[in-house]
Amino acid sequence: MVILIAGASHTGKTLLAQRLLERLRFPCLSIDHLKMGLIRSGQTPLTPEEDEALTGYLWPILREMIKTAVENRQNLIIEGCYIPFDWRRDFDERYLCQIRFVCLAMSEGYIDGHFPEILAHGSDVEARLDDSCCSPERLKEENRITAAGFRAWGEPVTLIEEDYEGTIGALLDRLNRSKARKEGLSCPIPAAPPDTPSF
């Protein structure tokens, strides 16, 4: 099973991925790590601030990693901001039945009532280099855009409105049950296309 975790900045994608890693023992890929590796190694002229261009650059790589994991019956968590709203169009049902998708978003009321706390927890799992441009207004706008974009494509959005820990705990339980159900299902595993290089 592959778990995709999307969402706006500061919503706790990395924290959720870390907790899933600990609970399910699935390996985890941070899209930010992939992004910075490609940028620092000179594989792309893009900069960390070019979000839209980075999504277009990173998604084909991530898409094929997801397909490879499914074809090889490997579990994987992928988290980050660079999952396109229409990601589902790149997979047929043989892949989709092996993928679970989560999008995290915060309500405006939650951001207004918890902004200092949101900033304080920004580096709980990995260090943020600079949070100086983060403001309640910017977070609200990013969350509105992210939630609306995924909803427009029919994706579920988990809205954090009051109880952050309760919301994340419920998601962990739901994904754990999904893993248990998946193990009992006969979902066809696609084979890699014949021209696909193997390991």
CATH number of 2-184: 3.40.50.300
Q: Are 78 and 66 in contact (CB under 8 A)?
A: yes
Q: What distance in Å separates the CA atoms of residue 109 and residue 192, rounded to the nearest whole number?
A: 46
DSSP 162: S
Residue 81 is classified by DSSP as S
pLDDT, tens digit, 9 for 90 and up, residues 113-125: 999 999 887 766 6
Torsion region of 6: left, alpha or beta (phi above 0 gives left; psi -120 to 50 gives alpha): beta
pLDDT confidence tier of residue 149, bands split at 50, 70 and 90 = very high
Residue ranges of domains in the chain: 2-184
Kindly report the pTM of this predicted structure.
0.88
With a cut of 90, say whether residue 188 has pLDDT above it: no
Q: Kindly report, residue by residue over 64-123, the tens digit of the pLDDT.
A: 999 999 999 999 999 999 999 999 999 999 999 999 999 999 999 999 999 999 988 776
